Amino acid sequence: MGLLEIRGLKKQFDGLVVLDGIDIVVEDGEIQGVIGPNGAGKSTLFNIVSGIYRADSGSIRFRDREIVNRPVYRVARMGVGRTFQVARAFDEMTVLENMLVPSVVMHISRAEAVRRADELLELATLDRVRENPAIEISGGQRKLLEFVRMMMTDPDLILLDEPFNGINPALIEVLMRLVRRLNERGKTFLLISHEIPHVSELCNTVTVLAAGTNIARGTPAEIRENPAVLDAYLGH
């Protein structure tokens, strides 16, 4: 049994078929990649798993419990965290204040929340901008902030949507190290990215979507040699 099992997931927007029966199994403790051309339906998949969009049909089981079409807060509370393709932050608040937002609904003291925030900020090398308003940090730091803020609730499954987009090489190294560290502590990742080298470095299994369907699944090496994958990218 996988930690997350997606079966036959379908979604249309105004008659446009965006997901046409997607199957993905994520094993507990793995870092799985999701790649595919623009418009393949990758972000839509995350939006459905996290409860933002409703699926038309199909099943999503997390820890063997059906979560399809559950409200966002229920999915989050069960232990599924996610980041967005365009990172979200509370601009007027400081970096630390951003980190403390999720703790409002957690049953921990402020001191414990600050301790946890500081540990995550240090891992993300954001401790140096702890007191800065979020609007003043770089785009890459903003992506890291969204990631570690989401980790405040200690989710078991983490969905990252294009985490490497628009972040400089030094911060990409920080991000890769962060994902590995959290994975060593037992966290499971599903990672959307166009950056095939980074995906190859982090992931043992890669799922390829194109035009709302599964076209391949395998190791990064298998995916690179798969003619259907080359066709999907070149044909696009």
Question: Where along the sequence are the contacts to ligand ATP (CB under 6 A)?
Answer: 13, 18, 36, 38-44, 85
Question: Whole-number minimum distance, CB 42 to Mg ion, in Å?
Answer: 5
Taking CB within 5 to 8 Å according to partner kind, which of ligand ATP, Mg ion, none is near residue 76?
A: none
CA angle 123, 106, 155 (to 5 degrees): 50
**Residue 231: strand, helix, or coil:** helix
Residue ranges of alpha helices (H) inside the chain are 42-49, 72-78, 95-100, 110-123, 139-151, 169-184, 196-202, 220-224, 227-234
Residue 207 binds Mg ion, judged by CB under 5 A = no
Token duo for residue 108: 């921990």
The entry of Mg ion, ligand ATP, none that residue 39 binds, CB within 5 to 8 Å by partner kind: ligand ATP
List the single partner that 73 binds among Mg ion, ligand ATP, none, CB under 5 to 8 Å by kind. Answer: none
Q: Which is nearer to ligand ATP, 42 or 143 (CB)?
A: 42
Partner whose footprint covers residue 71, from ligand ATP, Mg ion, none (CB < 5 to 8 Å by kind): none
Q: How far apart are CA 103 and CA 112, in angstroms?
A: 9
Closer residue to Mg ion (CB): 148 or 209: 209
If binding is defined by CB under 5 A, does position 43 make contact with Mg ion?
A: yes
DSSP reduced 3-state for 127: helix
